[in-house]
Amino acid sequence: MLRIIVFAILALVVGYGVGLFGGVWLINTFSNNPRDRELEAAMTGAFVIGPIVAVLAAVGTVVFLVLRDRG
């Protein structure tokens, strides 16, 4: 059980980093906002895409580890 918790926390941290930098790249690449593209990218990456990817990574890790331990 402790192993699953540790891997879930690790997945949260890594998933947030991937989501943050991926979100910043996506917004900088595809945004049509000419004035504050960098601010939009930073806020969207930090507060939208980063947390979504972090939660998905943690849930995916827990599901994978539980299913792998069962059988």
Helices (H), the chain: 2-30, 37-44, 50-70
Parent domain of 18:
2-70
Q: How far is CA 26 from CA 3, 6, 50, 54, in A?
A: 33, 30, 12, 17
Measured in whole angstroms, the distance separating CA 42 from the mean position of its chain's CA atoms is 14
Answer whether 22's CB lies under 8 Å from 56's CB: no
Q: Does the pLDDT value for residue 69 go beyond 80?
A: yes
Number of structural domains found in the chain: 1
pLDDT in tens, 37-56: 999 999 999 999 999 999 99
Q: Of 63, 66, 58, which is closest to residue 8 (Cα–Cα)?
A: 58
Counting every residue written for the chain, the total comes to 71
pLDDT category, 68, cuts 50, 70, 90? very high
